[in-house]
């Protein structure tokens, strides 16, 4: 299924532009790997989540605020998630957080979004190893605690690792999608 016909919807919410910049980097990397135009970018502030229905592959971007809180655009559309028909859709999540300033809530919003989507019957790809991070707790960890349920970025403390992580994650996504 990895070809130039691949169409991915990338939906994100961003208050301070960091999630938006990560989304644009992911879009650019996937365009390099698959072909220009394969990823359509949507800021959920300006686009209803119902637009997700138009894609078989979805990437969601969310940031964690303060003490494990949702980004404001996600918070205002949170109730819309339950109305989505995402059964059998392939979904990946990425998130931004501050592992040092909010070590007890690192990437919590990623975990909360994953839990909301899990009950909708979608197939997840893109779980990310938790090595190389310094945090106390996270709702974004898998049950065995070895992985985050999506790519975890920390532009506050590890900005120098962001591009490398995005590159690796995009390659991982495409390899996992290819096996579906």
Q: What is the pLDDT of residue 3?
A: 52
pLDDT digit string, tens, across residues 25-77: 999 999 999 988 899 999 999 999 999 999 999 999 999 999 999 999 999 99
Strand runs (DSSP E) across the chain, as ranges? Answer: 8-12, 39-43, 57-65, 69-70, 90-96, 123-124, 128-129, 147-148, 151-153
Q: For residue 16, give its domain range.
A: 8-178
Q: Residue 86's domain is classified under what CATH number?
A: 3.40.50.360
CA distance 19 to 23: 6
Q: What is the pLDDT of residue 1?
A: 42
Determine, yes or no, domain membership for 26.
yes
Q: What is the pLDDT of residue 171?
A: 98
Structure tokens at 40: 């359509």
Determine, yes or no, domain membership for 2.
no
Determine, yes or no, domain membership for 3.
no
pLDDT digit string, tens, across residues 115-170: 999 999 999 999 999 999 999 999 999 999 999 999 999 999 999 999 999 999 99
Structure tokens at 90: 């392939």
**In the predicted structure, residue 4 carries a pLDDT above the cut 80:** no
Q: DSSP 3-state assignment of 17? A: coil
With beta carbons less than 8 A apart as the criterion, state whether 173 and 126 touch: yes
With beta carbons less than 8 A apart as the criterion, state whether 111 and 140 touch: yes
Number of domains, the chain:
1
pLDDT digit string, tens, across residues 78-118: 999 999 999 999 999 999 999 999 999 999 999 999 999 99
Determine, yes or no, domain membership for 1.
no
**In the predicted structure, residue 2 carries a pLDDT above the cut 80:** no
């Amino acid at each position: 299924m990895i070809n130039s016909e691949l169409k991915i919807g990338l939906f994100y919410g961003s208050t301070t532009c960091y999630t938006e910049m990560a989304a644009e980097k992911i879009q650019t990397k996937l365009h390099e790997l698959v072909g220009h135009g394969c990823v359509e970018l949507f800021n959920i502030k300006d686009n209803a989540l119902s637009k997700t229905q138009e894609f078989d592959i979805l990437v969601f971007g969310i940031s964690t605020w303060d003490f494990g809180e949702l980004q404001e655009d996600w918070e205002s559309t949170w109730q819309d998630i339950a109305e989505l028909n995402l059964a059998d859709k392939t979904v990946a999540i990425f998130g931004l957080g501050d592992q040092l300033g909010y070590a007890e809530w690192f990437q919590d919003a990623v975990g909360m979004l994953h839990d909301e989507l899990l009950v909708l019957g979608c197939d997840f790809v893109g779980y990310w190893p938790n090595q190389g991070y310094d945090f106390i707790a996270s709702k974004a960890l898998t049950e065995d605690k070895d992985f985050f349920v999506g790519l975890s970025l920390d532009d506050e403390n590890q900005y120098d690792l962001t591009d490398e992580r995005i590159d690796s994650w995009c390659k991982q996504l495409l390899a996992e999608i290819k096996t579906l």
